[in-house]
Amino acid sequence: MTTHASTLAGKVALVTGGARGIGRGIALALAQAGADVAVADVDRLPPGATQYGAAATSGLADARRTADEVEALGRRALVVAADVTRKADCERMVAETEAALGGLDVLVCNAGVVSVAPVARLDEATWDLAFDVNAKGVFLACQAALPALHRRGGGAVINIASVAGKNGQPGMAHYCASKFAVVGFTNAFAKEVARSNIRVNAICPGILRTQMWEYLAETLRRGGESREESWKRYVEALIPTGRAQTPEDVGQLAVYLATAPNVTGQAINVDGGMELH
Ligand SMILES: NC(=O)c1ccc[n+]([C@@H]2O[C@H](COP(=O)([O-])OP(=O)(O)OC[C@H]3O[C@@H](n4cnc5c(N)ncnc54)[C@H](O)[C@@H]3O)[C@@H](O)[C@H]2O)c1
């Protein structure tokens, strides 16, 4: 699918967790389609968000780089420091976006964390973090954005769930439950706001080699296997096409969902054929 720069011309998007990975891919796709983009992220993830391990990655430095790339496409960009688990941060993130970019038309709730632990050894803090970021973070960002979307006479919300929001994966019950929650929230919220010209959809990505899967490939290694071999084993075993998805793949669907006037309440897979429903 090619996107035309005019598709989202004059529109403003806000992407949570937009610094890197899938969020960055979505931010750039929306900018290519003509939108100005606010990139929201946290500087450091809490220790329980194991996909970064001890890596000294600054979310805000990465967010600045993504914003620079948006500007290089000829759009306006904004970096917002916001932790989606905090209601006040979500409200400020929307207020700063409106103040700097003139409004809000497209909210993308992408921020997410992952970890692996079987239920028998899953501690409460790990469960709580998955739900705080992946599920409550979506609710708080959507609630905060609602008045701004109403002020524009409508808009689009795109929540990033996962194929793990449709099918359980052993060792990831907490992550799967949080993503099933995103799918349910998306469908219910879509029905609530449908008459206000606000459409709410979810994207369910399959497997992408972002920092999240660097962690998973390492953690799920079998004895003697390298991280690379572990990654390839999962891609080949789980994805019918045999190819991992990319942030650009997810960005294409985000542009479609930001513009499709008659699509709402859906949870659409970008997964190379892993799931039907
Ligand atoms: N990588 C995959 O294979 C895959 C598959 C399906 C779904 N997903 C989902 O896609 C989304 C993006 O994942 P990714 O693979 O790009 O991972 P990633 O770790 O590369 O990026 C996640 C981003 O979210 C940010 N973030 C985390 N907690 C936050 C918080 N509390 N507030 C604000 N920002 C926060 C991080 O700083 C980071 O920039 C997540 O919701 C993830 O669950 C990923």
| Residue 175 falls in the annotated catalytic set | yes
Number of the ligand 1 atom closest to the C-alpha atom of 20: 39
Given a cut of 70, is residue 190 above it in pLDDT?
A: yes
Selecting among 175, 215, 234, 256, the annotated active-site residue is: 175
Q: What's the gap in Å between 203 CA and the centre of ligand 1?
A: 13
Task: Tell me, letter by letter, the H, E, C secondary structure of the chain.
Answer: CCCCCCCCCCCEEEEECCCCHHHHHHHHHHHHCCCEEEEEECCCCCCCCHHHCCCCCCHHHHHHHHHHHHHHCCCCEEEEECCCCCHHHHHHHHHHHHHHHCCCCEEEECCCCCCCCCHHHCCHHHHHHHHHHHHHHHHHHHHHHHHHHHHCCCEEEEEECCHHHCCCCCCCHHHHHHHHHHHHHHHHHHHHHHHHCEEEEEEEECCECCHHHHHHHHHCCCCCCCHHHHHHHHHHHHCCCCCCECHHHHHHHHHHHHHCCCCCCCEEEECCCCCCC
**Per-residue pLDDT tens digits for 265-274:** 999 999 999 9
With a 6 A CB cut-off, is 159 part of the ligand 1 pocket?
Answer: no
**Per-residue pLDDT tens digits for 213-259:** 999 999 999 999 999 999 999 999 999 999 999 999 999 999 999 99
Number of the ligand 1 atom closest to the C-alpha atom of 52: 19
With a 6 A CB cut-off, is 199 part of the ligand 1 pocket?
Answer: no
Q: What's the gap in Å between 273 CA and the centre of ligand 1?
A: 22
Q: What's the gap in Å between 19 CA and the centre of ligand 1?
A: 9
pLDDT averaged over every residue in the chain? 95
With a 6 A CB cut-off, is 108 part of the ligand 1 pocket?
Answer: no
Which of 42-56, 193-207, 230-244 is predicted with the least confidence, judged by mean pLDDT? 42-56
With a 6 A CB cut-off, is 111 part of the ligand 1 pocket?
Answer: yes
> Given this model, what pLDDT does residue 35 score?
98
Mean pLDDT of the 116-135 span: 96
pLDDT range class, residue 22, cuts 50, 70, 90: very high
Number of the ligand 1 atom closest to the C-alpha atom of 250: 10
Number of the ligand 1 atom closest to the C-alpha atom of 245: 3
Given a cut of 60, is residue 120 above it in pLDDT?
A: yes
> Given this model, what pLDDT does residue 143 score?
99
Testing ligand 1's pocket by substitution, the residue of 41, 183, 274 carrying the most ligand atoms inside 8 A of its CB is: 41
With a 6 A CB cut-off, is 32 part of the ligand 1 pocket?
Answer: no
Q: Walk me through the domains of the chain, giving residue ranges and CATH numbers.
A: 12-206+245-270 (3.40.50.720)
